[in-house]
């Protein structure tokens, strides 16, 4: 089965996203998500501290249990903060959904392999992120190997009792650039908080 | 230097809702006292997580405080930089200053050489607390952190590592 194009995987999510969902996007996923349009409850995590999207999502999920918090993350980012899976399972926010796009590379720096990808490992094996998530204490865990399966099952992922993680085998975007900040970060933070608090209505 | 119950009451009075922490031998003793005052403790696996979890809590309308040792401050620089300086989120913190009170028992602990220069390098407004008589200075320093939009730090002198 061929790996899923990231933009098509995100289009499937875009069609299902509820108006009151918060979507946190990082790195390559942020670049492609922004290209699909903007939303007041999008937290485009640019600039970021790489790896911290899952932790930021957990904080938001705990502070706003009335909202579904969807985190769009990459495998390289998660590798920088694997402990966050354990922290998330410890506090178990039911409204947190992590969508992990595993393309096996650090895409925006020139597609170097991560230490989890077969091409980055002397034995040529692959790290199973879904198994890592289960071993970290998460129980709503999904793994999809292609776009068709992803698009078909995404509603079930979003409806599953959280915290949830769904791993998609995604294709790297050739010659991809890093995401650009869509504006001054402090001002975006203020707007986001106002939108979340309902003060923009 | 201070019992957990006293710190819990102080945090409560400042309007803190969550304490995001990795314990050390001093700060860890405060956990029960903090929870006793109705604050939620969030124990993370590593200090870089703490700033990001606190950032998410803040964005969601909560009032978190990060409580870590200076070794964790060293570890978590990039996450701190992002939350406090890129996004300018006014998240207060308590940083344990390892070995400050027992400089004889751990001679050469490099925490003593690097903690304050690193706080200054990160442009963090910190207050060093070395004696119980300074308790009121903690609240004085942290009070108004939200209105000031300043990430304020209390540096608590600790004993043995």
* Number of continuous H segments (helices) and E segments (strands) in chain A: 8, 9
In a mutational test of the A interface, the residue from B42, B56, B64 whose CB has the highest number of chain A CBs within 10 Å is B56
Tabulate helix, strand, coil % of chain B (nearest 5): 45, 20, 35
- Residues of A within 8 A of B56 (CB-CB) are 55-63
Residue A104: other Cβ atoms inside 10 A:
23
Q: What is the domain count for chain B?
A: 1
What is the model's pLDDT at position A93?
Answer: 98
The CATH number assigned to the domain holding B92 equals 3.40.50.970
Q: Which pair of tokens denotes residue A94?
A: 């039911």
> Model confidence over A146-198: pLDDT tens digits?
999 999 999 999 999 999 999 999 999 988 888 999 999 999 999 999 999 99
Give pLDDT, residue B15: 95
- Residues in chain B closer than 8 A to A196 (CB atoms): 59-61
| A4-196, CATH topology level | Rossmann fold (3.40.50)
With CB atoms and an 8 Å threshold, state whether B82 touches A52. Answer: yes
| Structural contact between residues B46 and B20, judged by C-beta atoms closer than 8 angstroms | no
Q: Any chain B CB within 8 A of the CB of A183?
A: no
The per-residue pLDDT of chain B, averaged, comes to 94
**Could B49 and A81 be called an inter-chain contact, meaning their C-beta atoms sit closer than 8 Å?**
yes
User: Which CB contacts under 8 angstroms, 24+ apart, belong to B6-9?
Assistant: B6/B33, B6/B135, B7/B33, B7/B34, B8/B33, B8/B34, B8/B35, B8/B36, B8/B37, B8/B39, B9/B37
Q: What is the pLDDT of residue B161?
A: 41
- The boundaries of the domain holding residue B29 are 4-157
Q: Residue A56: its chain B contacts at CB < 8 A?
A: 52-53, 55-56, 59
Tokens 């964790």 sit at which residue?
B72
The set of residues, in sequence order, having a beta carbon less than 8 Å from that of B113 and lying 6+ positions away, is none
Contact A29, A58 (CB under 8 A): no
pLDDT, average across residues B135-153: 88
The pTM is what?
Answer: 0.97
- Percent of chain A topping pLDDT 90: 95
For A14-29, letters b (16+ CB in 10 Å) and e give eeebeeebbbbbbbbb
Residue A71's SS3 state is: strand
Q: What is the mean pLDDT of residues B130-143?
A: 95
């Amino acid at each position: 089965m061929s790996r899923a194009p990231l933009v098509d995987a995100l289009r499937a999510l875009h069609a299902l996203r509820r108006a009151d969902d918060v979507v946190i996007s990082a790195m390559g996923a942020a670049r492609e998500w922004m290209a699909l349009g903007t939303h007041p409850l999008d937290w485009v995590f640019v600039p970021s501290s790489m790896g911290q999207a899952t932790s930021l999502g957990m904080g938001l999920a705990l502070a706003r249990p009335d909202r579904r918090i969807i985190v769009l993350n990459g495998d390289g980012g998660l590798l920088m903060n694997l402990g966050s899976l354990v922290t998330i399972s410890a506090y178990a926010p039911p409204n947190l959904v992590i969508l992990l796009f595993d393309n096996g590379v650090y895409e925006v720096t020139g597609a170097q392999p991560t230490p989890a990808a077969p091409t980055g490992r002397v034995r040529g094996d692959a790290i199973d992120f879904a198994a890592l998530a289960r071993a970290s204490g998460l129980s709503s865990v999904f793994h999809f190997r292609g776009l068709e399966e992803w698009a078909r099952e995404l509603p079930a992922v979003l409806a599953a009792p959280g915290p949830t993680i769904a791993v998609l085998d995604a294709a790297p975007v050739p010659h991809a650039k890093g995401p650009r900040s869509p504006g001054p970060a402090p001002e975006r933070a203020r707007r986001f908080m106002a939108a979340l608090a309902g003060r923009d209505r | 230097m201070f019992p957990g119950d006293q710190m819990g009451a102080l945090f409560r009075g400042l309007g803190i809702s969550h304490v995001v922490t990795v314990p050390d031998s001093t700060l860890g003793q405060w956990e029960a006292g903090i929870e006793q005052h109705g604050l939620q403790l969030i124990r993370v696996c590593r200090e870089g997580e703490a700033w990001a979890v606190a950032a998410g809590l803040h964005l969601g309308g909560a009032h978190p405080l990060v409580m870590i040792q200076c070794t964790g401050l060293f570890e978590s620089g990039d996450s701190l930089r992002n939350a406090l300086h890129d996004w300018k989120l006014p998240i207060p913190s308590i940083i344990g200053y390892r070995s400050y009170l027992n400089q004889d028992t751990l001679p050469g602990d490099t925490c003593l050489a690097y903690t304050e220069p690193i706080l200054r390098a990160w442009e963090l407004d910190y207050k060093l607390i070395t004696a119980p008589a300074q308790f009121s200075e903690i609240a004085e320093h942290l009070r108004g952190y939200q209105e000031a939009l300043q990430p304020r730090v209390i540096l608590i002198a600790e004993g043995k590592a």
